[in-house]
A and B are shown apart, each in its own frame.
Chain A
Amino acid sequence: MALTQRPLFDPPIVRRALRDAFGKLHPRHMVRNPVMFVVLVGSALTTLALARDIITRQGSVGFTLQLALWLWFTVYFANVAEAMAEGRGKAQADSLRATRTHTMAKRLEDPTDHLSGEPVPAPALRRGDFVLCGAGDVIPGDGEVVEGVASVDESAITGESAPVIRESGGDRSAVTGGTRVLSDWLVIRITANPGETFIDRMIALVEGAQRRKTPNEIALTILLSGLTIIFLLAVATLASFARYSGAAPSVPVLIALLVCLIPTTIGGLLSAIGIAGMDRLIQHNVIAMSGRSVEAAGDVNTLLLDKTGTITLGNRQAVEFIPVPGVSVERLADRAQLASLPDETPEGRSIVVLAKEKFGIRGRALAEGRTLVMTGGGDGVAGERHEAEFVPFSATTRMSGVNMGKLHLRKGASDAVARWVREHRGEVPGDLAPIVERIARQGGTPLVVAEQDNGTPHVLGVVHLKDVVKGGIRERFDRLRAMGIRTVMITGDNPLTAAAIAQEAGVDDFLAEATPEEKMTLIKREQSGGRLVAMTGDGTNDAPALAQADVGVAMNSGTQAAKEAGNMIDLDSNPTKLIEVVEIGKQLLMTRGALTTFSIANDVAKYFAIVPAMFLATYPVLDALNVMRLHSPASAILSAVIFNALIIIALIPLALRGVTYRPAPAAVILRRNLLVYGLGGLLLPFVGIKVIDVLLVSLRLV
């Protein structure tokens, strides 16, 4: 499996981060983060002041030394946080890189002539080349199947060990470089040059090589820079106010105050939060093409969900036998089961199972083609033996069935079966239509069963096939609704069926008999109403809608066109994951907001620590502001700076993991986060600074 789950503090990643963080001290790198750049400059100035103190043997060298060290730690810790987040991506990238193929490929001069091939190294392939891959071959690059059908092991990309079928034409034609053909052969047209393949792009994305600041991140950086400038002004002018008052705080002390006031906590963790958000998606096997799309996911108002596979289990299942008057339900069940025995479709299987569960009618032995079937078998009752001939489903007859000697059984759409009965001069009972209609109204599919037993055929009754809504999906939609997200079900079913399923699943709206054009119209309508739309898709005809949607998650099993159009790719091809994607987007933004609030709220305590300490010599009465009763001015200032540095380390797990997220209305989330990060941010430093102060004193560091 390519994308592995890693513990938060994976020792190799931590080691690498501790090392990489030094490299990030370069001013050219630091200047991208204005808040931490100010700390860097402050640390350098404090170090200069320290050097001066040592040379001139003036001032308190021990104090300035500790101050300088902790200021450097502050910068370093912030870099560690970023390196940690990047390290997780790099580790993913390394394991992906291992799957990149350097094998030889068989390039075809002429795609129709399989013997025209010549072996070339995979990196030499260019867009438009044709290659032939046989069983056991690694597919040399991204491409489209132009000929052949084969089972392919895509576990290198998806982590899913079950092989998938890839064939030319339709929605299953895309193959990814690095995957392996298990059986049969494929002719593939290469669609990506080396370095531009899916895996290459994934590596770049998870590694953060192409990471650009997202819009929200830029806005937040501006806010933080603004605050930094304000505090820079406050501290710089404090020097002259102090001079007016007859006090002379040293430059290192002013820098300490400045560093404590500017939002270093969020400033230091901001990029880590962004990178970790992308990483969390990757942990869910979703690759986001940009950080922007992750943010957009948090803003989504409307989810378009395909019915099949997302809301319902893939297939319809039999839930009820409804005989027409004059026929016993057992007889209907028996005949329906008999007619379904050779039917390998999930619907057919479910009829067999239902008959067995409800009436104890055993499945009978079967083999391919012609077989001996025991009929009339109750428990322990020997049935008759028959030769059975299968009548498979076809688009023209829209029926399937079985012929056993004189006994002919048919099941299928009501009009198709009725026609068959009439054609054989049978009579369709008037009671059939209301039953069929009732089932359709409930969102089910009516399957009419008829038999012809050596004479005129007659209708036995109806099997109610039903879409089975996935367990727990209703609760998920309720949670989404609480978050203010509307769910819209997309289905090809008729409106009647769609409405019934929509009601059962608890979606807010549905689009029945959906065509790609209607889907597009729906998205545009939602967007013009000021809503952001997320959807999943896999087919080529989904591509325009995927591109139009604000968040388009393409299934990895889908076509190349769909993958190009979406801004995320789900490697597991699980449409339900859209909900998790939205949650991760929200969590990302919440983490930023929570830490910003925390960072600003912290300042109050730091003022009470540092300001009285700075002016105690001039105005002893200001000790009244020393509400924490800190030991001395030196211990107070150091404690505040140490707290400020350590809090960054302490919050790295939170930044990487994200704040706890529970779906709830905005007002509830806000109240909870304000309580934890606002009030907590206000109070925690009072305790933290006091504890550090006591420790400093007991360790005789001041």
Chain B
Amino acid sequence: MTIGGWSQIGLFALLVLVITKPLGIYLVRVYDGSTRWLAPVEQLIYRVCGVDSAEDQHWTRYAGALLLFSAASMLLTYLVLRTQHVLPLDPFHRASVVDRQAFETAASFTTNTNWQSYSGETTMSYFSQMTQLAFHNFASAAVGMAAAVALVRGIARRSAGRIGNFWVDLTRGTLYVLLPLSLLLALLFVQQGMIQSFAPYRTVTTLEGAKQVLAMGPVASQEAIKQLGTNGGGFFNANAAHPFENPTPWTNLWSMLAIFAIPAALTYLLGRMVNDQRHGWAVLAAMYVLFLAGVTIAYWSEARGNPIHESRGIDVATTATNPGGNMEGKEVRFGIATSALYATVTTDASCGAVNSMHDSFTPLGGLVPLLNIQLGEVVFGGVGAGLYGILVMVVLTVFIAGLMVGRTPEYLGKKIQTREVQMAMLYVLVFPAAILTLSGASAVLHGGLAGLANAGPHGLSEILYAFSSTAGNNGSAFAGLTGSTYYYNTLLGLNTLIGRFAMMVPMLALAGFLSEKRTVAESAGTFPVNTPIFVALLVAVIVIVGALTFFPALALGPIVEHFLMQAGRLF
């Protein structure tokens, strides 16, 4: 580990903190309707779509609208992918995407997962990329934000189950937040040399004298929303490790900032809307603790490298000219610190963009991204999904710890009772149920084992990672697993849907139930949700629930792999 590496990590952490408040204030104004600089466009959309923007929807209606929108847009994407060979804007005459992959891709993009079992540059037409995948990059992010805001409304309001208007939230989030910010970010990217072009692929002669075809495309515009909406689906197969998709350390930094920006700002929105700004900061603090712990372990483990390298006489010392540590699967232009940071950021937030190959990390370095996802994608998390995920954990924390102060637990004045615990537990259960059951089956079924590139514990890590990544709507891949089989396309596609909607519905129910409650007055006897001790408790509950659930599986995967590596064995 170097001072330079740590200062980059420190700078990033500081910059996220700096943008939290201003962006948060803007988000509050967007969702309470006071930002109106695009009002004519907004009104036009409502009129064309026949939306009654004044309607305050009951949670069941809100959830219904959300599901309907997602189902319809997923179906549309499926159809476009299946028929892209007859659709325009396809200079390279791509074939139709096969059914299982079209299903998986449609599900994956609708759910903000962006798990890709295809290479973008050889499978998708520009039309599919720009009208479908890019559309979902915006829409799935806006849906996530809408759901989070709906939950916060449920906490803050007393409104008999009414938690806002899905169509309005969706429109405003896209129009006022995602579109302008993406535009800005895309320009920053282009300034750094990221390509944005419809030009044909270039054929170049490499230094070795070989011919190589360089894929081109409208990358910068896709890249901006890919990061900002924590989507993560790469334009190219190599994702953000590709020089056209992430050319410089600056684009690397802007990308990571874009990933954390909205999730961080949403914690400020939480504080503002529930009228307890310190609670918002407390939630952000818990996220920071988990984020910094993760990046520390990942950076330490990667910088420490592989003892087997050292024993074979390879120079692993860190010097001015030698990065040292484990550089396998990492880009030289990013190095160990920012690769470890990027891996932590992209898995904390359910983004899934990668600038290095997680599969090539040391066992503990690879454990961090895997565990980050398994904690429930609540450390910053996906846009919206991170906030509502951590708020469900807050509800559980308040319930367990709240009892300890001798009162019926209450969260910001709302009593946490049977129905709330029911919904929170339902939400929490979906995740281990999906990941463990499907991974467990894949670890013994032929279809599951067929896709493995590596044997032993590392193979198990690959399976766990694939199902964790899809259930967590992360979308990053451990690589090594061949995902484009009927078995994996189907199960992983299904898994993304479970990890999104089977969790969102109980969460919205929770929002509705909370909004039906009257607010209990706060007193000295109330469990405080804005103190350091609350932050510590929240972190403990997230870690204990996540770790206890997955520890046995992880023990047979990355953990045993780590000890085996120490003993000189690799997989």
Instruction: List the interface of chain A (C-beta within 8 A of B).
Output: 215-216, 218-220, 222-223, 225-226, 229-231, 233-245, 257, 261, 295, 298-299, 301, 481-486, 529-532, 585-587, 589-590, 592-594, 596-597, 600-601, 603-604, 607, 611-612, 615, 619, 621-622, 624-625, 661, 665-667, 669-671, 673-674, 677-678
A to B CB contacts below 8 Å, 8 in the list: A219-B421, A234-B552, A299-B520, A530-B520, A532-B520, A586-B406, A593-B400, A621-B564
CA distance A529 to B520 in the complex (A): 7
| A666/B524 contact (C-beta < 8 A), A219-B416, A231-B548, A607-B551 known | yes
| A597/B421 contact (C-beta < 8 A), A241-B460, A530-B518, A619-B563 known | no
Residues of A with C-beta under 8 A to B273: none
Residues of B with C-beta under 8 A to A215: 408, 417-418
* Minimal beta-carbon separation of B348 from chain A (angstroms): 22
Which of A225, A233, A587, A593 has a CB less than 8 Å from the CB of B402?
A: A593
Which of B526, B533, B540 has a CB less than 8 Å from the CB of A671?
A: B533
Residues of B with C-beta under 8 A to A624: 563
* Closest B residue, CB atoms, query A296: B408
Interface flag for B566 (CB, 8 Å) = yes
* Minimal beta-carbon separation of B159 from chain A (angstroms): 15
CA distance A365 to B544 in the complex (A): 80
Residues of A with C-beta under 8 A to B443: 240-241, 243-244
CA distance A601 to B406 in the complex (A): 19
CA distance A301 to B537 in the complex (A): 25
CA distance A216 to B409 in the complex (A): 9
| A244/B406 contact (C-beta < 8 A), A483-B525, A484-B526, A674-B537 known | no
- CB pair A593 B403 closer than 8 Å: yes
Question: CB-defined interface of B418-453 with A at 8 Å, one 1/0 digit per residue?
Answer: 101110011011001100110111011000010000
- Provide the main secondary structure of the chain B interface: helix
* Minimal beta-carbon separation of A643 from chain B (angstroms): 17
Which 8 residue pairs spanning A and B have beta carbons closest together?
A593-B403, A484-B525, A586-B406, A484-B523, A237-B440, A226-B425, A593-B404, A484-B524
* Minimal beta-carbon separation of B466 from chain A (angstroms): 14
Most buried by A among B400, B426, B527: B400
- New A-B pairs, 9, CB < 8 Å, besides A485-B525, A603-B548: A216-B417, A219-B422, A244-B443, A244-B459, A590-B404, A590-B405, A670-B405, A670-B533, A674-B404
CA distance A230 to B403 in the complex (A): 22
* Minimal beta-carbon separation of A30 from chain B (angstroms): 21
| A622/B406 contact (C-beta < 8 A), A241-B443, A615-B555, A670-B527 known | no
- CB pair B524 A607 closer than 8 Å: no
- CB pair A223 B413 closer than 8 Å: no
Residues of B with C-beta under 8 A to A677: 404
Which of A229, A235, A586, A621 has a CB less than 8 Å from the CB of B552?
A: A235
Interface flag for B457 (CB, 8 Å) = yes
* Minimal beta-carbon separation of B76 from chain A (angstroms): 35
Name the interface residues of B114-152: CB closer than 8 Å to any CB of A: none
Residues of B with C-beta under 8 A to A225: 425
CA distance A619 to B560 in the complex (A): 7
Residues of A with C-beta under 8 A to B320: none
* Minimal beta-carbon separation of B443 from chain A (angstroms): 4
- CB pair B548 A237 closer than 8 Å: no
* Minimal beta-carbon separation of A372 from chain B (angstroms): 63
Residues of B with C-beta under 8 A to A237: 436-437, 439-440, 553
CA distance A225 to B421 in the complex (A): 11
* Closest A residue, CB atoms, query B553: A241
Interface flag for B471 (CB, 8 Å) = no
- CB pair A586 B407 closer than 8 Å: yes
Residues of A with C-beta under 8 A to B552: 234-235, 238, 241, 257, 607, 611
* Minimal beta-carbon separation of A187 from chain B (angstroms): 46
* Minimal beta-carbon separation of A154 from chain B (angstroms): 33
CA distance A612 to B436 in the complex (A): 20
CA distance A665 to B525 in the complex (A): 5
Residues of B with C-beta under 8 A to A481: 524
Question: CB-defined interface of B358-401 with A at 8 Å, one 1/0 digit per residue?
Answer: 00000000000000000000000000000000000000100111
- CB pair B549 A298 closer than 8 Å: no
* Closest A residue, CB atoms, query B434: A233
* Minimal beta-carbon separation of A296 from chain B (angstroms): 8
CA distance A593 to B563 in the complex (A): 37
* Minimal beta-carbon separation of B414 from chain A (angstroms): 10
CA distance A674 to B519 in the complex (A): 26
CA distance A603 to B549 in the complex (A): 11
- CB pair A234 B553 closer than 8 Å: yes
* Minimal beta-carbon separation of A610 from chain B (angstroms): 9
CA distance A631 to B190 in the complex (A): 63
Most buried by B among A241, A530, A665, A674: A241
Question: CB-defined interface of B512-536 with A at 8 Å, one 1/0 digit per residue?
Answer: 0000001111011111100101000
CA distance A631 to B299 in the complex (A): 36
- CB pair A222 B553 closer than 8 Å: no
